[in-house]
Amino acid sequence: MRFSRTLIPTAKEAPSDAVLPSHIYLLRAGFIQSVGAGLYNFLPLGKRSLDRVRQVVKEELDAAGCQEVDLAFVTPAELWRESGRFEKYGKELLRFTDRKENEFVLGPTHEEMMVNLVRQSVKSYKQLPLHLYQIKTKFRDEIRPRFGLMRGREFLMEDGYSFHKDEEDMKREFEHMEATYSRIFTRLGLDFRVVEADSGAIGGSGSKEFMVLAESGEDEIVICDGCDYGANVEAAVRAPREAPSYEEGEEPIMSPGDFHTPDTKTIEALADFFHIDSHHLIKAVAQKARYDEGREEIVLFFLRGNDDLEETKACNAVGANELVDVSEEELRAAGLTPGYMGFIGLPEGIEYRIDRELKGESNLIMGANREEYHRVGVTVPDFGEHFADLVTVKAGDRCAHCGGRLSTTRGIEVGHIFQLGTRYSEPLGATFLDENGKSRPFVMGTYGIGVSRLLAAIIEQHHDDRGCIWTRESAPFDLEIVVSNIANDEEREAAEKLYRTLRERGVEVLLDDRKERFGFKMKDFELIGIPLGIVVGKKLSEGKVELIVRDGLERMDLSLDEAVEAVLERV
Ligand code: ATP
Ligand code: MG
């Protein structure tokens, strides 16, 4: 392609709301154009990169035995009612009605649609397993669309759904997909980590995320220095925290009873009051849990004074859709005493959860559910169902698997695989006949890749202060040939010849044939970030051109033939 004939509107500046390198460079280098919050046009370069990434995804999935389909984007609300998600999904789900007052939603994900497809056409175990996927626009009315392609409202996703006769076969596919997705991200040149993810009610290792390691990532991930354990902080577990080490005779000794503790509403004040490490204190975090149909309820979460509540875990512990703050007035109206709450002696009917690490622990101090009083010398009895994992795992904590040190880092979620089970097949009545002629719901897995987000993730991980550095299989072109002075006939002709030769050999080439200053064209080369460049310039009189590797900007003078060979070797 000729630069002079292609729409590549590069710019010196990016709008001030663009803060991440990927957002800034994708806009400045003319890959995308903003249309509105979370909405983007893909310009020719952006479309080419998107198509190449999509191609890698498709090739690997097809090779793994998955079949591509293409489902309607506008989906009947009726299906969403069948699964119960029409009410549950919240405002991210864009709902609308047509001229006949039929209700629809724009697909944010396609479980219902895919189950509906399969329930109509798959009847027997002999047709299983089956893995269908699509690479298609999704719409989620995100509350905070930001960072360009990273969190759009309209975005491109690969979403796959597998159907099995039993758990065992679904788990086999889950592992197969972990390997397949890993191959995709490796081909795209990404440094990533597969981590355990929050699976809501399913728990265990039923869900994994693929995290591209980058400082700018929105997700915090916990990794172990001793083994390959990695988890999203939302799902991370640790070995129970150890008590602080005390010199002999220095351990806190508590005589049980209620103590008058005025002005000790915070953990810091309480620790000061008793001159004690907050490890021995129990903190109460009050929240309001929101459930379906707008139902709300106050929930108290109890954990150690030196721990923090992990919101996703807390939400899962009570099966809520979300947690929101609750005011002191609301707590008092429920008969509670903010600043002095404990799990022993709570008013009737107050819902609460206790961090599971506290089970059986003793020598603790906790609110006495009485103004200005704390209970000292508490031992935590077995509260059964009230125990749950609630803590935020932090750097320095110990690994639950090997005892190694955990540390935290940040990642961009580019993929998610999920052991779904019968969560959708059951309510939608999607069943098959097993070997014994018995009707059973499909056991499902679901899988997703943020295809458009990948473009942003690639640039977050691969850029310098001049612009993008595309990886081999994500670049819009393999090579850019820059003609130093287009008015010079020899230069132009040599460049044209290189362009023809390399294109004939299957190389995707962008020829910068614009009547612009050389410096200006080189700045664009660096900004756009095509992996290889060839400058046809003054050294042509000695029969040489300059090959530039964008990553590191390494330069070599080569003869024309050598340059062709060097390009073919690298592409
Ligand atoms: P996130 O936690 O980032 O909101 P999610 O867990 O809601 O994502 P999934 O439902 O697992 O996302 O969707 C599968 C993949 O789609 C994600 O791994 C991510 O790469 C991509 N994705 C999700 N939301 C967006 C978005 N708003 N913009 C771009 N890509 C997205
Ligand atoms: Mg996810």
Q: Residues lining ligand 1, CB < 6 A?
A: 109, 140, 142, 151-152, 155, 157, 413-416, 448, 450, 452-453
Given 3.40.50.800, 2.60.40.1120, 3.30.465.10, 3.30.1280.10, which CATH number is that of 479-570? 3.40.50.800
Residue to probe by mutation, ligand 1, list 139, 453, 460, most atoms within 8 Å of CB: 453
| Residue 547: predicted pLDDT | 98
| Residue 255: predicted pLDDT | 87
User: Whose alpha carbon is nearest atom 13 of ligand 1?
Assistant: 448
The answer, yes or no, to whether residue 287 has pLDDT greater than 70, is yes
Q: Residues 463-494: pLDDT tens digits?
A: 999 999 999 999 999 999 999 999 999 999 99
Q: Relative to the CA of 218, which ligand 1 atom is closest?
A: 3
- Of 322, 318, 84, 316, the closest CA to residue 199 belongs to 316
Read off the pLDDT band of 204 (50, 70, 90): low
Superfamily (CATH) of domain 257-388: YbaK/aminoacyl-tRNA synthetase-associated domain (3.90.960.10)
Read off the pLDDT band of 280 (50, 70, 90): very high
- 3-state DSSP assignment of residue 313: helix
> In angstroms, what is the span from residue 209 Cα to ligand 2's centroid?
7
Cβ partners under 8 Å of residue 263, min gap 6? 269
Query: Taking the chain, what is the end-to-end CA distance rounded to the nearest angstrom?
Result: 17
Asked whether the beta carbons of 351 and 364 are under 8 A apart, the reply is no
The answer, yes or no, to whether residue 95 has pLDDT greater than 60, is yes
d(CA 365, CA 340): 11
Q: Bigger pLDDT: 180 or 253?
A: 180
Residue 251 per-residue DSSP state? S
Average pLDDT estimate for 32-43? 97
User: Whose alpha carbon is nearest atom 12 of ligand 1?
Assistant: 416
Average pLDDT estimate for 319-323? 91
Could you give the percent of the chain with pLDDT greater than 70? 99
Which residue type occupies 398?
A: R
Quickly list DSSP for 408-423: EEEEEEEEEEEEEETT
Pairing of strands 387-388, 406-421: unpaired
Which residue type occupies 407?
A: S
With tokens 């789900």, the residue in question is 93
Domain ranges of the chain: 15-70+107-237+407-460, 257-388, 479-570
Asked whether the beta carbons of 469 and 530 are under 8 A apart, the reply is no
Asked whether the beta carbons of 143 and 180 are under 8 A apart, the reply is no
The answer, yes or no, to whether residue 199 has pLDDT greater than 90, is no
* CATH code reported for the domain at 15-70+107-237+407-460: 3.30.930.10
The answer, yes or no, to whether residue 345 has pLDDT greater than 70, is yes
Task: Give the number of residues written for the chain.
Answer: 571
pTM, to two decimals: 0.93
> In angstroms, what is the span from residue 569 Cα to ligand 2's centroid?
38
Q: Count CB-CB contacts under 10 A for residue 136.
A: 18
The answer, yes or no, to whether residue 334 has pLDDT greater than 60, is yes
| Residue 205: predicted pLDDT | 60
Residue to probe by mutation, ligand 1, list 416, 446, 452, most atoms within 8 Å of CB: 416
The ligand that comes nearest to the alpha carbon of residue 211 is 1
Peptide bond into 129 cis (omega under 30): yes
Read off the pLDDT band of 293 (50, 70, 90): confident
